[in-house]
Amino acid sequence: MLPLLLFALVCLILLAGFPVAFTLAGVSLIFAAIVSLFGGFDLYLLETIPNRLYGVMTNATLIAVPLFIFMGVIMEKSKVAEDLLTSMAKLFGRMKSGLGLSVVIVGALLAASTGIVGATVIAMGLISLPAMLKRGYPQEISTGLICATGTLGQIIPPSIALVILGDVLSSAYQQSQLSLGNFAAKTISVGDLFIAAIVPGLMLVVAYAIYFVLFVKVSSEGQYQDQDDLEVPKLIRSLLPPFALIFIVLGSIISGVASPTEAAGIGALGAMLIAWSGGKLSGGVLKEATRQTAFITTMVFLILIGASIFSLVFRGLGGEEIINEIFNAIPGGLFGAMLLVMVMVFLLGFILDFIEISFVVVPIVGPVLMAMGADPLWLGIMLAVNLQTSFLTPPFGFALFYLRGIAPESIATESIYKGVIPFIAIQIGLLILMAIFPDIVTKLPSIIYS
């Protein structure tokens, strides 16, 4: 029971408010030292930590993380998102639910071009929330729609979450194949996960839009009134650059012209060119974008280092064997084991960010599930959508905190909680559909690669 005790202890200390990266590493090392006194852990295993850290430092795939973060921050700080939403609202203005639809579409575009949930929710909240309230949209649907579309950055590629998950799943898949005696297994890549995420991501966008059109009652004031202000050249200038950037980044990965890391470099350069062409790439914007990129990247890699140490100690205590035994003892085989993992990830989403869950939980359960027959791409997208759902779950959903921080005081926190419930139901519905019909995830990659 020592591995499970270590995991419970880490969760307990995280709930007390200690920093994640230092908790993962510190608690694991102290636990290993104490247990070793009673012969429960071999301290010589800790000599592999430098090799693990060197592996993190030299991982070419993870270079995509700061590049995609920089791309997203530049798009946010240069007000490209604001111009995009304003133009889209005017384009759909003649429709009764036009502003809401524009929020869904712009949220999807921002998700594809930034991949940062916090930045997207805050940008959409500052820009669109006052306009939606002014035009008669209910508080619940306005806040719920903004929170839900802001989390699309988790599943719509190119996504930082998918980059991290892809790298972790690649290692887990190789480990599962080695455990089965397959020493020449084909690896999976971040690009594979990007392709697999396209259809589920589009399904979420369409489901949000359909729900909004069919079930949200908007007064006639909900229409955008300034139709004469719609200028086609300005609309094209707002829409074309982000579309082109997304097309180039994803197209280069899917076609095999560039790796995800190389495509991230193209995206970062493209975002700077878009901001520069619009006259919005000042020294201040560049400085702030660089500072924020360094801050987020440092957080990600510190957590990865802490998670690597935790994973080493967990395995040294026999944790992998324990997980294997538990999964094999669950009725229903792969289905039962997968259901347990999905429920556990959903609950952990209340206290941990997607980065921590990706680095801590997936390396533990991934190899066992894939050895039981789970398709790695299907598993990755199921986890990604599940982690996206955790961003919305009251009372600890991170998207709810982001919006609460910038929403007017007149909007009750209870309204934000109520607003996200239909969108949580939509995401759970997508999870059920993908569980019943795995082809939703696996069909497009098989078509492209065939």
| pLDDT in the model for residue 183 | 60
Q: What pLDDT shows up at residue 412?
A: 85
Interatomic CA distance for residues 198 and 216, integer angstroms: 27
Residue in the block written with tokens 């995609």: 68
Q: What is the pLDDT of residue 304?
A: 86
What pLDDT score was predicted for residue 26? 92
Residues 313/29, Cβ–Cβ less than 8 Å: yes
Half-sphere exposure of 305 (CA within 13 A, CB side): 16
* Distance separating alpha carbons of residues 121 and 382, to the nearest angstrom: 22
Cβ 406 vs Cβ 125: under 8 Å: yes
Q: What is the pLDDT of residue 116?
A: 67
pLDDT score of 224: 46
* pLDDT score of 385: 92
8-state DSSP, 257: S
Sequence-ordered alpha helix ranges (H) in 278-407: 283-316, 319-329, 334-348, 354-360, 362-371, 376-390, 398-406
Q: How far apart are CA 288 and CA 297, in angstroms?
A: 14
Q: 80 to each of 120, 125, 350, how far by Cα in Å? A: 12, 15, 32
Give the pLDDT score at 220. 47
Q: Are 321 and 5 in contact (CB under 8 A)?
A: no
Residues of the chain with pLDDT under 50: 220-222, 224-228
DSSP 450: -
Cβ–Cβ < 8 Å for 245, 267: yes
What pLDDT is attached to residue 219? 52
- For the stretch 18-22, contacts whose Cβ atoms lie closer than 8 Å and that sit 24 or more positions apart, written own/partner, are 20/303, 20/306, 20/352, 20/353, 20/356, 21/299, 21/302, 21/303, 21/305, 21/306, 22/302, 22/306
- Over the range 266-288, which residues count as b (16 or more CB within 10 Å of their CB) and which as e? bbbebbbebbeeeeebeeebbee
Q: How many CB atoms lie within 10 A of CB 423?
A: 24
- Identify whether the C-beta of residue 250 lies closer than 8 Å to the C-beta of residue 201: no
Contacts of 298 (CB under 8 A, 6+ apart): none
**Please, what is the end-to-end C-alpha distance for the chain in angstroms?**
46
Distances (CA, A) of 35 to 6, 7, 305: 11, 14, 22
* Residue from 215, 186, 224 nearest 96 by CA: 224
In what helix (H) or strand (E) does residue 381 lie, and over which residues does it extend? helix 376-390
Q: What is the pLDDT of residue 28?
A: 92
Specify the pLDDT at position 231: 66
Helix (H) or strand (E) holding 74: helix 64-77
| CB-based contact 445:192 (threshold 8 Å) | yes
pLDDT at res. 222? 46
- Cα 249 to chain centroid distance, Å, stands at 18
Alpha-carbon gap, residue 111 to 66, rounded angstroms? 16
pLDDT for the residue numbered 175: 77
Q: Are 38 and 345 in contact (CB under 8 A)?
A: no
Among candidate residues 280, 316, 267, the one with its CA nearest the CA of residue 72: 267
Q: What is the pLDDT of residue 217?
A: 67
Contact 169, 137 (CB under 8 A): no
pLDDT for 250? 84
